[in-house]
Amino acid sequence: MSTILLIEDDHDTAETIQAMLETEGHAVHHAENGRRALEKLDRGLGVDLVLTDIVMPDMEGISTIQQLGKVRPGLPVVAMTARRETPYLRAAKAMGARETLYKPFGLATLRQILERTLAPPPAPGGAE
Amino acid sequence: MPHLPAGGPPIRILTVGPAASLDPDTLELLTRSGHTCVRLDDPQEALDRLLRGEADLLVRDPADLLKPGLGVSAGPPHTEDHRLAAARDNYRTLLMELPLLVWKGDATGGCEYVNQAWLDFTGLPLEALLGDGWTGALHPEDRETLQHTYAEAFRTRLPMGLEFRMRHRSGEYRWVLGSGKPFYDLDGQFAGFLAACDDIHGIRTAERRIRRLTDLYAALSHTNHAIVHARDRQRLFQEVCRIAVGFGKFRLAWIGLADPQRGGFHPVAHAGPASAYLDELGNCTTASEPGGLGLDAVVILEGESRIERNLPASASCAACRASADRNGLRAQAAFPLRVGGRIEGSFSVFSDAGDAFDQDMVALLEEMAEDISFALDHLAREERRIAAEDALAVALRERQAMLEAASVARVVPWSMGPEGILHWGDSAGLVLGRDPADLERMPGWPWQLLLEEDQPRLRQALREADLGLVASAECRMHHGEGRTIWTRWTLAREGTRFRGAVQDITEHHTVQEQLFQSQKLESLGTLVGGIAHDFNNLLMAILGYCEIFEGDPGFSRGQRKGLEVIHRAAQRGRDLVDRLLGFSRKVAPRRTPGNLNTILSEAASLLVHALSNRIRLVQEPSPGLPDLSFDSGQLHQVVMNLAINARDAIQGEGTITLRSGLRSVPAEEALAHRRLPGDYAYLEVEDTGCGIPSDRLRRIFEPFYTTKGAKGTGLGLSMVHGIVTDHGGFVECASELGVGTRIRVMLPRVSSGERTDDPAQGGGPSMRVLLACGEPARARLSVGLGQMGHRIAPEAVTEAASVSGPAPWDLLVMEPSALDMDAGAFLDALARRGWTGPFVLLGQGRPGALPRPAAGHLPHDFSLMELVETLHLSCPA
């Protein structure tokens, strides 16, 4: 069981993913955008993994990942997107995201990604 | 009458005429008296012999011999003195009566005697001729020669002969042939010269005339020769004058041309030693003047030849007279020169001899003038012919240019008059594929050549033209080669006549149509992409909770069954969205190096199972196809989708051909279709199926558009379109109803080393980006682009714009406000290096005129997301 920071602007989607993560036995902190998430971390929130959407208002995912790399180097990040454009995923990876997830995803996929991401040492490359 | 002395010295007698029939008795009597008698028939010879001293007596009448003194008479003989006096009288009479001009000089050389003939000839009294007086009648030009010859003969005592002119009593100088010999008295003492002159004027005049005529014939002959070789008037004029003087021996020849505007005429050519005459003449005029008109002016005014045999005394203008006199010009003949029957000028020749122009000479000169006129006519015709030929050549060139222009613009002009026949320009053959003559056989407007549904457009345009407007209509027409072309009719009405042009705008129409379609697909893609994003989020909630609840033991079996239905429905939704995203290019290709021929053969091996045995599958891979960088999975899908469509298009038997090849897209085609120029490799699927109507063909890539009715999803070709666009390529379609369809997937030939994906980065090509911006932006872009795996080109702006050589950039980010040069000029400089790739404008500054639109815009304070978004939009492949 891990503590996961979920960054997702869509309320319903956030609630769903939170429920899925909790079903898998993880503790979830939710932030509706990157700025809020960084504030939480800034206040000392300890997490094992960040699951962040890419396309969000206020502070979008790419910049969030970039900032996360600065404030918590080594903290594993998984980028989620309902879009599938190459540059977003490419940028997310370039900024340090270890994995990417295409929405909608099922429990099996989620479980597989989390296992890969949380297991030391992190698995190299490859999404889904 | 002489009487021969009887018993005196023997006398030598010549008899002529009746004396020749001297009776034998008389002859015997004379012989007995010691005289000799020679009988001659020619009185002239007799006279000559007498003068030469070969005879002593010339007898004309035999009766004279019977007179006293000869010893032949019956009477008594006379005394010696009496006989001598008689002989002298006889000689005197003889000399006096002699029809020759006889002259006798004394021992000092002066004239002491001339006979009656001489007196008659000169009309002068004897006294005026004695001594040196006789030389006054000699022609001034001959006087010296004669005096000299005579002096020489006198000195050497030798006979002399000379032709010279002597003034006749009529005032005219006449030619005479003079012969002289020394004269000795009875004692053998030199007593002077005896001379006789024969009037040979007639002979000499005839000879001279013949010489003149020969000269003129030569001049005429040379004139005709010059005419044959004449290339222009001026040279002909000059040559004719030169010939008239050189061969015709005239003192002056000149040609004057009438100048109707100035009311005069002016010399255009002249030749001869007396050319000063013209200089002195000053302005020539054809206007009547107080001093009278010159001969040439009269000729020009009256159009008739004129001869003046005594210029200095003529009634012509004072200046002409004076100048003629000064230059020794005695006679002038002037002839009109005509061009096309009109008097153009005059041809004049001058002589120093008053007798230079007799009837025959004038006739020859007239012929010469007529020949010059003929030549002028010919030259004028020749000039007109050359001008006409030049005009024709110009017209032909213009016509050719028009035709070429018409063929380039694919325009054919036409006009229709009140007779209702439509006349077409020559380019009808090129534009409409029909002979203009064939078209003109169709009466009225060519409705039968227009597609029926488009005819109302032309009718409407005709109505608008009737109202005085310049109207236009776009109609499809049946081309002579059987195809249908789009044409634009432009027409206007002028009175009872319609004029206009028909332009083939098929290509324009096609390009417009394609652009419209591609823009439509583009916006549909954006729309679908947006919907898909939202939809995926919705499906996330549904699918996520389905899975959570499916594992919840609290749900009844019935509820769980319901959840499964929801789950399946959501999954179908996700599949649908995935396929939609395939069209809207939301699935990134994973490029790896590979060969399209491999894709073809792999697809073929799969297809064999999907095809009935009535459909033949043919593979035509192009040998030597280079490797490309592409997503093989996606291209598999492309070929399969196309092949399945091909299969569905074939009813019954048919053939599907899978083909590959290479094709270059030239710059103009690229420009027209907004594609990138360069080399492409292609995959092609061709079928022999039912074909697709042209109005449907242009919609086949639209999502949910299907020609298969309920059987099709309308997404197969949308996906093909999306995948190919993602690879930077495009799709070409050709279809003919009942014949088949060919769909060609064109992929740019980028060398596999340059834009392959970095597998470690998880998809998307690495780009080389040229930065032309200020330092702050450059730093941020370098970091951002670098983090995304792109490379920054090392070149500075000036370097990039000036250095020649390859330009290996995939993208340019340009901040116009930070450039040292105009943004447009910078792009032009890059274009000269061969780089015309996409560029992104940074900042709000207005960049001025740019040669092509920017692929994207970035604000100065761009976020990483915006950078990613802009890069994605600018460089989709």
Question: What tens digit of pLDDT does each residue of B81-139 get?
Answer: 677 777 777 777 777 777 888 888 888 888 988 888 888 889 988 888 888 888 888 99
* Tally of CB atoms within 10 A around B624: 7
**pLDDT of B516 above 80:** no
Partner A contacted by B838 (CB < 8 A)? no
Which of chain A's residues have a Cβ under 8 Å away from the Cβ of B531?
Answer: none
Residue type, B478: H
Q: Name the residue in chain A with its Cα closest to that of B590.
A: A86
Q: What is the predicted pLDDT for the residue at B756?
A: 42
Q: Name the residue in chain B with its Cα closest to that of A12.
A: B541
- Supply B279's token pair: 């200089």
Q: What does the pLDDT average to over B249-272? A: 85
Partner A contacted by B24 (CB < 8 A)? no
DSSP letter assigned to residue B60? S
Q: What is the predicted pLDDT for the residue at B285?
A: 58
From the list A17, A66, A83, the residue facing B864 with the nearest CB is A66
Q: What is the predicted pLDDT for the residue at B586?
A: 45
The C-alpha atoms of residue B563 and residue B549 are separated, in whole angstroms, by 8
For chain B, list the domains and their CATH numbers.
12-201 (3.30.450.20), 206-383 (3.30.450.40), 410-504 (3.30.450.20), 510-583 (1.10.287), 592-748 (3.30.565.10), 765-874 (3.40.50.2300)
N residues, chain B: 877
Q: Are B806 and B784 in contact (CB under 8 A)?
A: no
Q: What is the predicted pLDDT for the residue at B583?
A: 63
- The gap from C-alpha B822 to its chain's centroid, in whole angstroms, comes to 46
The string of pLDDT tens digits covering residues B720-751 is: 888 888 788 889 989 988 899 999 999 988 64
Which of chain A's residues have a Cβ under 8 Å away from the Cβ of B551?
Answer: 23, 107
What's the distance, Cα to Cα, between the start and end of chain A in Å?
A: 21
Q: What is the predicted pLDDT for the residue at B442?
A: 84
Q: What is the predicted pLDDT for the residue at B334?
A: 92
Q: Among A89, A90, A105, A110, which would you mutate to test the B interface (most chain B Cβ atoms within 10 Å of its Cβ)?
A: A90
The string of pLDDT tens digits covering residues B322-344 is: 888 888 888 999 999 988 888 88
Instruction: Tell me how far CA of residue B17 lies from CA of B64, B70, B86, B745, in angstroms.
Output: 13, 19, 22, 136
**pLDDT of B698 above 80:** no
Q: B788: helix, coil or strand?
A: coil
B540 contacts A62? CB cut-off 8 A: no
- Supply B433's token pair: 């594929």
The string of pLDDT tens digits covering residues A78-89 is: 999 887 766 677
Q: Which of residues 24-53 of A touch B (CB under 8 A)?
A: none
**Which H helix or E strand runs over B615?**
strand B615-620
B581 contacts A93? CB cut-off 8 A: no
Q: Are B874 and B856 in contact (CB under 8 A)?
A: yes
> What mean pLDDT value characterizes chain A?
85
Partner A contacted by B310 (CB < 8 A)? no
**Which H helix or E strand runs over B600?**
helix B596-607
- Supply B360's token pair: 């025959």
Q: Are A80 and A52 in contact (CB under 8 A)?
A: yes
From the list A16, A88, A125, the residue facing B759 with the nearest CB is A125
**pLDDT of A58 above 70:** no
The string of pLDDT tens digits covering residues B851-864 is: 777 888 888 888 77
- The overall pTM is greater than 0.80: no
Q: B679: helix, coil or strand?
A: strand
- Work out whether strand B264-271 and strand B284-285 pair parallel, antiparallel, or are unpaired: antiparallel
Q: What is the predicted pLDDT for the residue at B754?
A: 44
The C-alpha atoms of residue B12 and residue B29 are separated, in whole angstroms, by 14
Segment among B50-64, B67-81, B146-160, B423-437 with least mean pLDDT: B67-81
* Tally of CB atoms within 10 A around B705: 14
| Alpha helix stretches (DSSP H) within B34-176 | 43-51, 62-65, 80-97, 116-122, 126-129, 140-156
- What own/partner pairs with CB < 8 Å and gap ≥ 24 does B188-192 have? B190/B107, B190/B157, B191/B106, B191/B107, B192/B104, B192/B105, B192/B106, B192/B107, B192/B108, B192/B109, B192/B112
Instruction: Write the CB contacts of B612 (distance below 8 Å, at least 6 apart in sequence).
Output: none
- Supply B608's token pair: 């064999």
* Tally of CB atoms within 10 A around B601: 12
**Which H helix or E strand runs over B252?**
strand B252-259
Q: Name the residue in chain B with its Cα closest to that of A105.
A: B540
B864 contacts A60? CB cut-off 8 A: yes
Partner A contacted by B542 (CB < 8 A)? yes
Partner A contacted by B527 (CB < 8 A)? no
Q: What is the predicted pLDDT for the residue at B51?
A: 76
Q: Are B684 and B658 in contact (CB under 8 A)?
A: yes
- Supply B819's token pair: 């450039």
The C-alpha atoms of residue B786 and residue B788 are separated, in whole angstroms, by 5
Nearest to B311 by CA among B284, B326, B335, B331: B331
The string of pLDDT tens digits covering residues B738-784 is: 899 999 999 988 643 344 444 344 445 678 889 888 888 888 888 88
- Supply A13's token pair: 């989607």
The string of pLDDT tens digits covering residues B579-594 is: 777 666 545 567 788 8
B587 contacts A84? CB cut-off 8 A: yes
Partner B contacted by A94 (CB < 8 A)? yes
Q: What is the predicted pLDDT for the residue at B757?
A: 44
> What mean pLDDT value characterizes chain B?
82
| Alpha helix stretches (DSSP H) within B410-443 | 428-431, 436-440
Q: What is the predicted pLDDT for the residue at B186?
A: 76
Nearest to B201 by CA among B135, B115, B139: B139
Partner A contacted by B534 (CB < 8 A)? yes
Q: Among B591, B782, B787, which would you mutate to test the A interface (most chain A Cβ atoms within 10 Å of its Cβ)?
A: B787
Nearest to B498 by CA among B449, B548, B458: B458
Partner A contacted by B719 (CB < 8 A)? no
From the list B540, B586, B787, the residue facing A95 with the nearest CB is B787
Ranges of beta strands (E only) in B717-868 are 730-736, 740-748, 768-772, 791-792, 811-814, 839-842, 856-858
From the list B540, B545, B787, the residue facing A103 with the nearest CB is B540
The string of pLDDT tens digits covering residues B593-613 is: 889 999 898 888 888 877 888
CATH tag, A3-115: 3.40.50.2300
Q: How far is A75 from chain B (nearest CA, A)?
A: 18
Which of chain B's residues have a Cβ under 8 Å away from the Cβ of A102?
Answer: 536
Q: B487: helix, coil or strand?
A: strand
Q: How far is A69 from chain B (nearest CA, A)?
A: 12
Which of chain B's residues have a Cβ under 8 Å away from the Cβ of A23?
Answer: 548, 551
The C-alpha atoms of residue B18 and residue B65 are separated, in whole angstroms, by 12
The C-alpha atoms of residue B310 and residue B324 are separated, in whole angstroms, by 10
Segment among B238-247, B262-271, B519-528, B546-555 with least mean pLDDT: B519-528
Q: What is the predicted pLDDT for the residue at B833?
A: 80
The C-alpha atoms of residue B377 and residue B371 are separated, in whole angstroms, by 10
Q: Are B50 and B58 in contact (CB under 8 A)?
A: yes
Which of chain B's residues have a Cβ under 8 Å away from the Cβ of A125?
Answer: 759-760, 762
Partner A contacted by B788 (CB < 8 A)? yes
Instruction: Write the CB contacts of B451 (distance below 8 Å, at least 6 apart in sequence).
Output: B475, B476, B477, B478, B484
Q: What is the predicted pLDDT for the residue at B802?
A: 76
Q: What is the predicted pLDDT for the residue at B856?
A: 82
- Supply B209's token pair: 């005339």
B865 contacts A55? CB cut-off 8 A: yes
Starting at the earlier edge strand, list the strands of the sheet with B190-199.
Answer: B111-114, B101-105, B190-199, B173-184, B160-167
Which of chain A's residues have a Cβ under 8 Å away from the Cβ of B787?
Answer: 66, 91, 94-95
**pLDDT of B673 above 80:** no
Q: Which residue has the tokens 């012509």?
A: B316
Q: Which of residues 479-508 of B touch A (CB under 8 A)?
A: none
Which of chain A's residues have a Cβ under 8 Å away from the Cβ of B586?
Answer: 83-85
